[in-house]
A and B are shown apart, each in its own frame.
Chain A
């Protein structure tokens, strides 16, 4: 198939509401394979996905899905599937009814077969006859994905698909997305939790403050994440002694004595935690508290952006 038919193109796309700029001059091409749209909450990820799905017009710039603009063009949904973040489905329908109705809205020739296939892929066959109202959050997420997949779209957009899933369901969903990407589809998902997507392969686009802040492949971003400096607040029975010992260690890049305890900077989290334990044991120092002090998502993302 023509690669254009499954690509999402954004050229200098901006979207603002009054004085608030939600998406700021973003250009990107999302092609076949998996792409993660990452960024802290409020970064503009959902706005971008809504722009792509045609639920918002760009204030400026051009946006096409499969070569066609998506705004005011419901026809794009013949090749596009959307899994919205909001957990609102027709809860009075059974899972099967919901997916089959979606198949009929797509005017598929055999809606029953399409619904069974999509439900099978998501391993929801056992629960398909229960009303969606009785589903857990993870099951609702999966039935939404089944509905979005029912017409076998070339492009699939998923807004925070791992929210509310337990680790096993998350792994299963990642496998499914990778499998669909391997079949040549374009899969774009958003997430605000970097660790959530740590084991995936593919491309990531980092959005911070409405701007495309960084992009690259998962491995490069992962390396940056593990080698980024961590800052910890350490409180012990002998801060001065511990601080002097810590500064002599290669994993530690800085120590500061503060009123609240020791502020320790390290580039190697694993080595630091082993050495800290060893030093305390050898020096008979009692460790009272070890707190990560820069673990906010914003600091992680801004570090990635700066690199």
Chain B
């Protein structure tokens, strides 16, 4: 049996390094660097002005988990592979014997790590500004944000392999699937990365303001399942990566 650490053997340090440099060097990096700044600034403003004591879970749950984390993951997750497919530079990576699973996992790991830095950690810092570093809310939001960073990026990396309009498809998923249907159709919540994240956050923070509807067990098992399945599909898709020729 493989050691649990075997997954790290599938991460390719060269792919990781090039992906991090490329993603941080693109213009859209400004967007995912600005979003956490807005979150922190708004938190500070609320801390100074808010009168209701319930504002931290409401604001950080709503704005943090419905806007900051999914948008940060969307921008990063669709670009780690998508931007290289768009400009054709992916071919230099694929014209080597590196396994396609390793490419997908390394791209995903880079995206998840960047989303933790620019989404999950700012969310935790914002909660800490509101309630303190060791408060249950802060720790719960950090745990939930980690789940969001992993789940969303697996999905958005897959989207970038399925369509050239990954950002649009990702937005549709967030707005229509999670936002609209998730509120009205109970079954959708079982297939919603946003629900997995807030449910994990809620298991520690224990506040109804997060609108969590799943048990922590369901949330964790489903998040793991969705992540593994989407990454496996992404690797299969990359293995069948095609470039059209000049005749069409």
- Which residues from chain A sit less than 8 Å from chain B, CB to CB? 15, 17, 20, 22-23, 41-50, 53, 55-57, 72, 74-78, 80-82, 84, 86, 88-90, 92-93, 98, 101-102, 104-107, 144, 147-148, 210
Task: Given A22-B248, A82-B91, A90-B89, check contact A102 B242 (CB 8 Å).
Answer: no
- Determine whether the beta carbon of A82 is less than 8 Å from that of B95: yes
Residues of chain B lying within 8 A (CB to CB) of residue A80: 95
A92: which of B25, B99, B239, B243 is its contact (CB, 8 Å)? Answer: B25
- Determine whether the beta carbon of B242 is less than 8 Å from that of A20: no
State which residues 1-29 of B face A: CB under 8 Å: 12-15, 17-18, 21-22, 25
Residues of chain B lying within 8 A (CB to CB) of residue A93: 18, 21
Task: Given A89-B89, A106-B97, check contact A48 B245 (CB 8 Å).
Answer: yes
A210: which of B18, B99, B247 is its contact (CB, 8 Å)? Answer: B247
Cα-based distance from A56 to B244 in the complex (angstroms): 7
B82 CB to closest chain A CB (Å) equals: 14
Task: Given A72-B239, A88-B87, A105-B98, check contact A44 B246 (CB 8 Å).
Answer: yes
Interface size class of B (residues with CB under 8 A): 20 to 34
Cα-based distance from A20 to B25 in the complex (angstroms): 39
Cα-based distance from A49 to B240 in the complex (angstroms): 16
Query: 15 more A-B contacts (CB under 8 A) besides A15-B245, A74-B239, A101-B17?
Result: A23-B247, A44-B245, A45-B245, A50-B245, A55-B91, A55-B242, A72-B240, A74-B98, A74-B99, A77-B95, A86-B88, A90-B18, A101-B14, A106-B96, A148-B95
- Determine whether the beta carbon of B12 is less than 8 Å from that of A47: no
- Determine whether the beta carbon of B97 is less than 8 Å from that of A89: no
Cα-based distance from A57 to B95 in the complex (angstroms): 15
Cα-based distance from A42 to B244 in the complex (angstroms): 12
Task: Given A46-B246, A47-B245, A92-B21, check contact A105 B93 (CB 8 Å).
Answer: yes
Residues of chain A lying within 8 A (CB to CB) of residue B96: 74, 77, 102, 105-106
Cα-based distance from A48 to B89 in the complex (angstroms): 20
Cα-based distance from A101 to B97 in the complex (angstroms): 13
Residues of chain B lying within 8 A (CB to CB) of residue A45: 245-246
Residues of chain B lying within 8 A (CB to CB) of residue A57: 240, 242
Interface-central residue, B25, B97, B239, by most chain A CB under 10 Å: B97
Q: Does B241 contact A (CB under 8 A)?
A: yes
